[in-house]
Amino acid sequence: MSTFVLVHGAWHSGRCWERVTPLLESDGHRVLAPSLTGYGDKAHLLSPEVGLETHVDDIVTLIEEQDLTEVVLVGHSYAGLVISSVANQIPDRIGHLVYLDAMVPEDGETAVDVQPMSQHLIDLAATSGGGWRVPPLPEQPPPFGLFGVTDPADVIWLRTMLSDQPVRCLQQPVRLNNPAAQAIPRAHMHCVGATPAGITRRPVPAIQPNGSPARVRELETGHDCMITMPVELSKLLLELSR
């Protein structure tokens, strides 16, 4: 059986995986879905000093303290930066990387390099919140909704888990200089529902860093697929674990 570590994206908390976790566990897998520093049960730790490196340390520490190996490490959205950096630090403990509608960086890149609209968020933060915190993106009319969530009850639930995002998370570069990390298999899952203007996705290279053909799956839904399509997402993750 596999061990899944599910890493949420910007503004969210580990609670966003609550519909996926039991589906993976029912198949016999171990699942950890922590909240990164500054979110959820760790919201009291939100500060200007919290950045990408903080979140990488969160996941590295979790994996090492739990002595996990062959981890299926899933990163949603901003967490694509996090899981890339984690794999760079502890490649021997990672069995698979899954980029879930995620940023996929190159060495030395920041969130702004991967997703240029992030600079707009940084500029907005400069005019409020002390210049260091970015509030969650606002809800938009259907079909965009709140991070792709349009069901009114789900939107209410999602709002309960959202926190501001420290600007530092968007400004710190990834360090991907460990050749061993390049050998880790990867998969890419794209949410191909309605996408707000300004959001871009880099093409997935046909050949991945380990030399294998790209594995790309699509979900016909908005960005927060763990809320809108938990069953379909879980099936894709289980496909990987087998």
Residue 41 DSSP label: G
- Give the H or E element holding residue 226: helix 225-228
3-state DSSP: the chain helix, strand, coil percent, rounded to 5? 35, 15, 45
| Integer Cα distance of 51 and 208 in angstroms | 28
Chain centroid to CA 134: 17
| Structure-token pair, residue 220 | 């016909």
Evaluated on CA atoms 174, 92, 238, 154, the torsion sign reads negative
| Integer Cα distance of 13 and 136 in angstroms | 12
Name the H helices within 94-216: 111-114, 118-125, 152-159, 168-171, 179-182
Among candidate residues 77, 84, 163, 234, the one labeled active-site is 77
Q: Which residues pair with 72 in a beta bridge?
A: 4, 96
Please choose, from the candidates 160, 152, 154, the residue with its C-alpha nearest in 3D space to the C-alpha of residue 15.
160
Identify whether 77 is a catalytic site residue. yes
Please choose, from the candidates 217, 233, 234, the residue with its C-alpha nearest in 3D space to the C-alpha of residue 225.
233
Chain centroid to CA 127: 26
Residue 164 DSSP label: -
Please list the active-site residues. Answer: 77
